[in-house]
Structure 1
Amino acid sequence: MATNNSLKNQLANKQEGNQVGTAQSLGLKGLVNAPTMKGKFEEVLDKRAPQFLASLLNLYNSESGLQKAEPMSIIMSALVAATLDLPIDKNLGYAWIVPYSGKAQFQLGYKGYIQLALRTGQYKAINVIEVREGELVSWNRLTEELELNLDGAESDKVIGYCGYFRLINGFEKTVYWTKAEVEFHKNKFSKSNFGWGKDWDAMAKKTVLRNMLSKWGILSIDMQKGITEDGNEQKGRIDITEDIGVNLDIIDPAEEPKKPSDTLPEGTAVQGSIV
C-alpha cells in the first residue's frame, strides 16, 4: 500500500512539474518569454518592450559572467533599467547589469545620471570631465573655486575629475576629486570590479557625479530611485515578488498574462529642494 501511495505521489509530482517551472529552471530566455514577464515589461515600456527584451538577451549571450548569475536577479535589474527608461547596451554607458556573487545588480553609468538630471527640466548645464596633468591651476576646497587651463595638458595622465552643474534658478555647484580620492572611495564602497576594470574613467566620473547630485542636486523620483538602486544587491525573494507582482517560485509560461501590481513610480514629479 505504501508503495502504491509513493508511486501516486511521484506521478502527481511529475505531472505538476510538466505544467509549471521554477524561475531558476526556466532560465533567462524562459523567463523573458513567459507571458507574465512580457506583460510587466510591456506595461512599463509599451511598444518598446520587445526591443528592450531582445537587447537583454543579447547582453546575456555576450557576457559569460552574467550567464552564471541567477536569472531572476537579471530580470529585476533589467526591470529597474526599463522603469528608468535607460538602455542596457554596455557600449552606450547609460546603465549596466553587473554580475556579483551569483546574482545580477543594476548599475547606473554617468551618462545615465546626466540623462535623469536633464529630464527634470531643472538643470541648465551639467557635466563631468577628466582633469589631466597640467590642466589644474588651482582648487579651493572651502570656496569651491576651481581654475582649469584646458589647453595646458602636459600629458594624457589623468590626475582628477571635475563635476559641475547649474540650475535654471541660478544655483551652481563645482566639485573636484583627485584620482587618489576616487581610488579610496572605490576601495571602500565598490563591491565589484566589473565596471572599474573595463572603463576606470567612466566609473570615476560616475562616482563624482553621483556624489555631487545626491548632496546638492534637485532629485526627481526617478533620480532618487536610480541612486537607491545603483549597485544595490537584489532584495529577498518575498520582497521581489511584491515589487513586480508575480510568483517567482512557480511561473507557467503558458498562462495568460496577469496585470502586475502598480508599485513602481513613474518618475515624473520633482523634489523641489536642494539637499
Structure 2
Amino acid sequence: MATNAALKNQLVNKQDATTQVSAQSLGLKNLLGAPTMKKKFEEVLDKKAPQFMTSLLNLYNGDPNIQAAEPMSIVSSAMVAATLDLPIDKNLGYAWIVPFYDSKKGHKAAQFQLGYKGYIQLALRTGQYKKINVSPVFEGELVKWNRITEELDLALDAAASDKIIGYCGYFRLTNGFEKTVYWTRDEIEAHRIKFNKAKDKTSLNNVWRSDYDAMAMKTVLRNMLGKWGILSIEMQTAVTEDEKEPEMKDITDEASEVEDFPEPEIIDAAPKTGKTDSKEKPSVIDQEIQFD
C-alpha cells in the first residue's frame, strides 16, 4: 500500500528527473497531474483511475476543510481507498477523507476512514457471507430483544416516529453460522464517549457530527465483525488503516475516536464482486444485500 513518504519520494520534476518536487507547492490539482502520480493510480485502478482522480478533485473543491489539509496527506488517504477499490464520495458512505489539525507539525492533514458500507463491501468480497446488513431501529419498531438467544423481533410497519432508538446488525455465513446484535442509542453514545479523545467527551467530532447514524452503524458492524466475523486480508488491511490513531487534533480542536477490538480471523480474499447498493436508508437486517 502506498504511503505518504513513498509517494513523495516518487514525485520528480519533468525537466530534471533528479530534482524532487515539493508536494506542498504543487497543490492537489498539479500533484494529481504529475505523470508519476497518474501512473501510481493507474497501477492500482487501471482504467478507473481518471474517474477516481476526478472524484477526488470534486471532493477537494467542495470541502474547504479538506482544501486546508496538506496535499500529500489527501493523496495518501485517497490511495488507501483506491487500493481497496472503494469510492470516496462522502455521500455514498464507503470511505471518507477526514481533515485534522496536526499540532506537532503545525498544519492540517487528512486521514482515511472506512464507512459502514465499506465494511459491508469488503466483507462480501470474501465470499464467506451469504447475508450481511445493519439498520437503524425506529421508535415503535422494537417488539423484543433477547441478548442471550439473539432473537430480535421488529415490527417494521409500526414505526411511531422518525426517532431512532437503536441499531441492529446481522450476518449469516455460507456455512450457516449467523450473528445478530442490537445496540441501544444509549449504548452507542456510551461507546462513542468512551473513545472520544476530545477534552469535552460529549462533543461530536468529524463524521459523528455530520452523519451520526452512519458512524453508529459503522460502530455496530465493526464491533460485530471484529468479534465474530471472518475478515479477508484485504479487510484486515482496511481495518488497520481505519484504526490508526493520528497524532493530530480534529479541525474543531476535537480529536478522533479510536476503538479497540479483538483481532479477527483472517482468510484469503475472494475475487471482488460488483457494485453495492447505494440507497440512503439501509434495509432491514434480514434482507440480503444484492450485487449486480
Band of TM-score, shorter chain: 0.7 to 0.9
In structure 2, the residue corresponding to 1:230 is in which secondary structure? Answer: helix
Larger Cα-atom Rg: 1
- The equivalent residue for 2:135 is 129
- The equivalent residue for 1:225 is 237
Runs of 4+, deviation exceeding 4 Å = none
Of stretches 194-203 and 118-127 in structure 1, the one that deviates more from structure 2 is 194-203
- The equivalent residue for 2:37 is 37
Check conservation: 2:130, 2:173, Cα contact below 8 A.
yes
The TM-score, its normalising length taken from structure 2, stands at 0.71
- The equivalent residue for 1:157 is 163
Check conservation: 1:218, 1:270, Cα contact below 8 A.
no
CA distance in 1, matches of 2:97, 2:243: 9
Match runs of 1:83-122 below 5 Å: 83-101=83-101, 102-122=108-128
Q: Per-residue displacement from partner, 1:38-77 (whole Å, max 9, x unpaired)?
A: 1111110011111111111111111000011111111111
The TM-score, its normalising length taken from structure 1, stands at 0.76
CA distance in 1, matches of 2:119, 2:22: 35
- The equivalent residue for 2:219 is 207
Q: Relative to 1, partners in 2 of residues 1:67 and 1:40: Cα closer, same or farther, differing over 3 Å?
A: same
CA distance in 2, matches of 1:118, 1:270: 10
What's the C-alpha RMSD, in Å, of the aligned pairs?
Answer: 2.3
- The equivalent residue for 2:194 is 188
Q: Relative to 1, partners in 2 of residues 1:234 and 1:85: Cα closer, same or farther, differing over 3 Å?
A: farther
In structure 2, the residue corresponding to 1:169 is in which secondary structure? Answer: coil
Check conservation: 1:73, 1:234, Cα contact below 8 A.
no
Percent identity between matched residues is: 71
Q: Give the superposition deviation at 1:181.
A: 1.1
- The equivalent residue for 2:268 is 269
Q: Relative to 1, partners in 2 of residues 1:183 and 1:94: Cα closer, same or farther, differing over 3 Å?
A: same
Q: Give the superposition deviation at 1:145.
A: 2.2
Check conservation: 1:103, 1:234, Cα contact below 8 A.
no
1:55 and 2:55 equivalent?
A: yes
Check conservation: 2:112, 2:241, Cα contact below 8 A.
yes
Q: Give the superposition deviation at 1:188.
A: 2.5
Q: Per-residue displacement from partner, 1:146-201 (whole Å, max 9, x unpaired)?
A: 22222222221110000000011000000111111111222232567221222211
CA distance in 2, matches of 1:127, 1:164: 5
Q: Give the superposition deviation at 1:34.
A: 1.7
CA distance in 2, matches of 1:30, 1:203: 33
1:24 and 2:24 equivalent?
A: yes
In structure 1, the residue corresponding to 2:49 is in which secondary structure? Answer: helix
Question: Could you tell me which amino acid in structure 1 is paired with residue 37 of structure 2?
Answer: M
Higher helix share: 1
Q: Give the superposition deviation at 1:233.
A: 4.5
Flag structure 1 segments of 5+ consecutive residues without an equivalent.
1-15, 236-266
Match runs of 1:59-70 below 5 Å: 59-70=59-70
Question: Could you tell me which amino acid in structure 1 is paired with residue 207 of structure 2?
Answer: G
Q: Per-residue displacement from partner, 1:84-122 (whole Å, max 9, x unpaired)?
A: 000111121111111112211111111111111111111
Question: Could you tell me which amino acid in structure 1 is paired with residue 158 of structure 2?
Answer: G
Q: Per-residue displacement from partner, 1:1-55 (whole Å, max 9, x unpaired)?
A: xxxxxxxxxxxxxxx9xx5432222221222112221111111001111111111
- The equivalent residue for 2:72 is 72
How many residues are matched? 224
CA distance in 1, matches of 2:146, 2:73: 44
In structure 1, the residue corresponding to 2:88 is in which secondary structure? Answer: coil
Question: Could you tell me which amino acid in structure 1 is paired with residue 223 of structure 2?
Answer: N
Check conservation: 2:114, 2:242, Cα contact below 8 A.
yes
